């Protein structure tokens, strides 16, 4: 059934006859140069691929017995590789691989060679991908390696299987039936991640429950860790800072208290006894009411280092989140992370990474990059993207997020050097760091197709690709995903691609154009809610848009909160001028009069109306384009997406009407004639 369960690993029959024979030969003579659990995984995957491509099993041979496809590590294949080639492969690092033809004794062999079995696995998945996309070519070689060390999914899954901000059913972790019952889905999950190079997963919600650190839960976690290991996936857990009180019977969780330190040391030792390659902890502390070191007058570094000390002997790490703000403080939330973390630069242990959310506010449809990138030199910084679409239509809207991530990754920070970019900081090249991280808040649940909306799969896919190489482009990633998901028909591909590539800008247009942000319905964040008012110190008046009869927007220049002052001076000076700042960020940083002139010649009011209207038109065009795909793709997925696109059109109209009619009560101006009038 085309229900989406197989994700991008749906190995369809090969349609190119000549390539077919060549590749089929490879599958009929497979030789492994060694034995280990990861090779067992590769064997199984070869079985699935061969069945799918050719409808028969692969044949495993001996070396001197027509073995056409060679699989092994660099060291295992030493005698077949020249010295220069060995050096080249070695330089790719532990997880890198090379694949290409080796001529040996008058025969040629196609070899997939990793520096480690996991590297080999990555090479095999890439080999399959080349077959699926019709780009396999035995005469050209390919080598690749990840640019970021930790490529990680963060599940916001609770122990009762609800998922915070999850829109695809319940958590796939069945804690109740673990450790005894092993859901086959865990393996498919591991395969999907490994195929993208995702090598770490945090299983539990950042709003953490201390119970997951109990022995009985660790036994369950161990089962998952054992399953994931041959796929190269390391397991992390979220640690609740107050666990020493809640489960250790201590009176304090003060990170400098000897008993507290001891509690964590014992807990960590216990975990490593069960899971020797346990990754470490992800921690949300002193944010949104979560416990943390501030309760004891200690800072983030003292809190993080206490855990890092317990983990260090086991090579574990602490991923400490920079998403810190208190809704009780009357300070621009945009500034809080820098205020708390900049003074601590250089104070964190080497095995601590500060995980910085994409956007100082909160995963908005479009945010300027977080000002912590570039503000600290002596601190490991990782990126946190949100794959689940909390603020982007949840599971009813098709929004391909890769262009948004790409925009952020490519952003120039001007620090530490004039050419630095966010990508350069998180891959460590700009800052000379080895411990690097890109995390994505997962959009996965028990829904048959994993992500609720079929196109949510593309976001999981794109996240994995960008975590591997943050310099890739969204269009290439989308093209590849479409081929793997819908096949290679050019018409189908180009139509789907055009929808995907426009979808993020469209959502920004009908939700939060020109730098508007956080005007979603209160707490659920679904649909418009610009009228939300007060009740929290950090909201001051009217949420974040601050509309009044004069104009609209949040003044973050020197005359306002001066969050802009936290960026490099190149940015701060340019963006503090409403005529120079990129218009997409105008209302993020400026309170602007309704009659302010935009670059298009329109007034701000007309421009806002125009963008909302454009957003609706785009959503309608997606639905129209999709309808022309009927018959070109299977009815099952056609219907699934078609129904959702219809909902998306309604939601876009809802956003436009709600926001424009509401903002009109301040602007007191008519809608321009050239847009559809909101009602």
Residues 546, 587: contact at Cβ < 8 Å? no
Site for ligand GCU in 629-658 (CB under 6 A): none
Task: For the CB of residue 239, give the shortest distance to ligand GCU in the complex, in Å.
Answer: 14
Rule CB under 6 A: choose which of 23, 206, 361, 422 binds ligand GCU. 206
Question: Does residue 516 bind ligand GCU (CB under 6 A)?
Answer: no
Q: List the structure tokens of 540.
A: 């001051």
Can you say whether the dihedral through the CA atoms of 484, 487, 409, 572 is positive or negative?
negative
Structure tokens at 506: 């469209």
Q: Is 480 a catalytic residue?
A: no
- Report the residue number, 338 or 618, with the smaller CB distance to ligand GCU: 338
Cα 665 to Cα 199, 535, 592, distances in angstroms: 51, 22, 16
C-beta of 28 vs 335, nearer to ligand GCU: 335
* Look-up of token digits 């298009």: 600
Comparing CB distances to ligand GCU, the nearer of 391 and 596 is 391
Interface of this chain with ligand GCU, residues 561 to 600, rule: CB under 6 A = none
What are 10's two structure tokens?
């749906």
> Is the dihedral angle over the CA atoms 207, 210, 215, 217 positive or is it negative?
negative
Burial class (CB in 10 A: 0-12, 13-18, 19+), 297: exposed
For residues 310 to 329, the per-residue mask of contacts with ligand GCU, x marking binding by CB under 6 A and - elsewhere, is -------------x------
Q: What residues form DSSP beta bridges with 97?
A: 114, 144
Of the pair 129, 165, the CB lying nearest ligand GCU is at 165
For 441, which DSSP code? Answer: E
Give min distance, CB of 163 to ligand GCU, in A. 10
Round to whole Å and give the CA distance between 101 and 91.
19
Q: What is the DSSP letter of 598?
A: P
End-to-end CA distance of the chain: 42
342 by DSSP, 3-state: which?
helix
Q: Which of 40, 107, 277, 288 is catalytic?
A: 288
Of 394 and 397, the one with the shorter C-beta distance to ligand GCU is 394
Q: Judged by CB under 6 A, does residue 165 bind ligand GCU?
A: yes
Under the criterion CB under 6 A, does residue 345 sit at the interface with ligand GCU? no
Number of residues in contact with ligand GCU under rule CB under 6 A: 8
Q: Which of 95, 302, 362, 651 is catalytic?
A: 362
- For the window 357-386, what string marks contact with ligand GCU as x by the rule CB under 6 A? -----x------------------------
Which residue, 183 or 331, has its beta carbon nearer to ligand GCU? 331
Q: Which one from 332, 390, 447, 613 is the annotated catalytic residue?
A: 390
Please tell me whether residue 284 binds ligand GCU under the rule CB under 6 A. Answer: yes
Could you confirm whether 251 is annotated as catalytic?
no
The residues facing 307 across adjacent strands are none
**Secondary structure of residue 635 in the 3-state scheme:** helix
Q: Identify which of 160, 277, 167 has the alpha carbon closest to the alpha carbon of residue 222.
A: 277
Q: Please pick, from the candidates 164, 377, 469, 634, the single residue that binds ligand GCU as defined by CB under 6 A.
A: 164
Burial 613-644 (b: 16+ CB within 10 A, else e): bbbbbbbbebbebbeebeeebeeebbebbeeb
Considering only residues 387-416, where is the footprint of ligand GCU by CB under 6 A?
Answer: 390
Q: Closer to ligand GCU by CB, 329 or 661: give it.
A: 329
Q: Measured from the CB of residue 303, what is the shortest distance to ligand GCU in angstroms?
A: 16
Residue 489 annotated among the catalytic residues of the structure = no
User: Least CB distance from residue 152 to ligand GCU, whole Å?
Assistant: 15
Pick the closest to residue 191 from 125, 135, 251 (CA basis).
125
Q: Which of 207, 429, 498, 614 binds ligand GCU (CB under 6 A)?
A: 207
The footprint of ligand GCU (CB under 6 A) covers: 164-165, 206-207, 284, 323, 362, 390
**Residues known to be catalytic:** 288, 362, 390
């Amino acid at each position: 059934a085309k229900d989406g369960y197989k994700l991008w690993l749906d190995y369809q029959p090969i349609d190119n006859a000549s390539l077919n024979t060549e590749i089929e030969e490879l599958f009929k003579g497979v030789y492994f140069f060694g034995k280990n659990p990861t090779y067992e995984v590769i064997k199984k995957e070869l079985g699935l691929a061969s069945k799918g491509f050719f409808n028969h099993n692969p044949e495993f041979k001996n070396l001197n017995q027509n073995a056409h496809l060679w699989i092994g590590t660099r060291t295992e294949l030493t005698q077949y590789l020249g010295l220069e080639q060995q050096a080249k492969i070695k330089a790719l690092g532990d997880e890198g691989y090379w694949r290409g033809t080796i001529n040996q004794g008058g025969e040629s062999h196609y070899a997939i060679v990793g520096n480690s079995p996991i590297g080999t696995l990555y090479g095999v998945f890439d080999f399959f991908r080349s077959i699926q996309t019709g780009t396999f070519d035995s005469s050209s070689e390919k080598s690749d390696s990840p640019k970021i060390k930790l490529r990680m999914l963060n599940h916001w899954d609770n122990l009762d299987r609800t998922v915070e901000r999850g829109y695809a059913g319940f958590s796939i972790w069945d804690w109740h039936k673990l450790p005894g019952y092993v859901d086959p889905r865990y393996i498919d999950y591991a395969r999907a991640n490994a195929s993208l190079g995702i090598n770490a997963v945090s299983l539990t919600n950042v709003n953490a429950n201390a119970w997951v650190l109990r022995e009985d839960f660790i036994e369950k976690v161990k089962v998952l860790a054992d399953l994931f290991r041959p796929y190269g996936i390391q397991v992390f857990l979220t640690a609740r800072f107050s666990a020493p009180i809640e489960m250790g019977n201590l009176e304090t969780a003060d990170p400098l208290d000897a008993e507290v330190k001891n509690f964590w040391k014992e807990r960590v030792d216990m975990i490593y006894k069960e899971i020797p390659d346990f990754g470490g902890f992800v921690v949300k502390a002193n944010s949104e009411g979560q416990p943390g070191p501030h309760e004891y007058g200690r800072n983030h570094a003292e809190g993080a280092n206490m855990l890092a000390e317990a983990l260090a002997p086991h090579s574990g790490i602490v991923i400490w989140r920079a998403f810190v703000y208190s809704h009780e403080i009357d300070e621009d939330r945009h500034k809080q992370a820098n205020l708390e973390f900049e003074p601590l630069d250089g104070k964190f242990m080497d095995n601590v990474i500060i995980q910085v959310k994409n956007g100082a506010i909160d995963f908005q449809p479009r945010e300027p990059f977080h000002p912590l990138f570039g503000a600290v030199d002596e601190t490991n910084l990782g990126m946190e993207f949100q794959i689940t679409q909390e603020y982007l239509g949840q599971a009813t809207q098709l929004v391909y997020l890769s262009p948004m991530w790409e925009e952020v990754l490519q952003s120039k920070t001007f620090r530490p050097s004039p050419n630095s970019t966010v990508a350069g900081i998180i891959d460590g090249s700009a800052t000379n760091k080895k411990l690097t991280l890109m995390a994505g808040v997962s959009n996965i649940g028990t829904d048959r197709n994993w992500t609720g909306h079929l196109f949510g799969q593309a976001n999981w896919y794109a996240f994995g690709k960008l975590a591997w190489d943050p310099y890739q482009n969204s269009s290439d990633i989308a093209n590849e995903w479409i081929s793997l998901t819908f096949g290679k028909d050019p018409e189908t591909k180009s139509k789907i691609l055009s929808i995907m590539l426009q979808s993020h800008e469209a959502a920004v247009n009908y939700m939060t154009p020109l730098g508007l942000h956080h005007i979603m319905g209160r707490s659920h964040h679904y649909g418009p809610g610009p009228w939300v008012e007060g009740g929290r110190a950090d909201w001051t008046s009217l949420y974040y848009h601050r509309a009044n009869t004069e104009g609209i927007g949040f003044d973050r220049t020197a005359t306002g909160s001066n969050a802009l002052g936290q960026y490099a001076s190149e940015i701060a000076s340019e963006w503090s001028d409403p005529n120079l700042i990129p218009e997409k960020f105008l209302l993020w940083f400026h309170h602007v009069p309704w009659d302010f002139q935009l670059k298009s010649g329109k007034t701000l009011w007309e421009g806002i109306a125009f963008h909302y209207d454009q957003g609706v038109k785009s959503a309608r065009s997606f639905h129209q384009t999709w309808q022309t795909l009927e018959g070109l793709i299977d009815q099952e997925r056609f219907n699934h997406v078609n129904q959702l696109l219809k909902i998306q059109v309604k939601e876009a109209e809802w956003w436009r009407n709600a926001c424009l009619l509401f903002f009109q009560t301040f602007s007191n101006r008519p809608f321009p004639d050239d847009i559809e009038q909101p009602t």
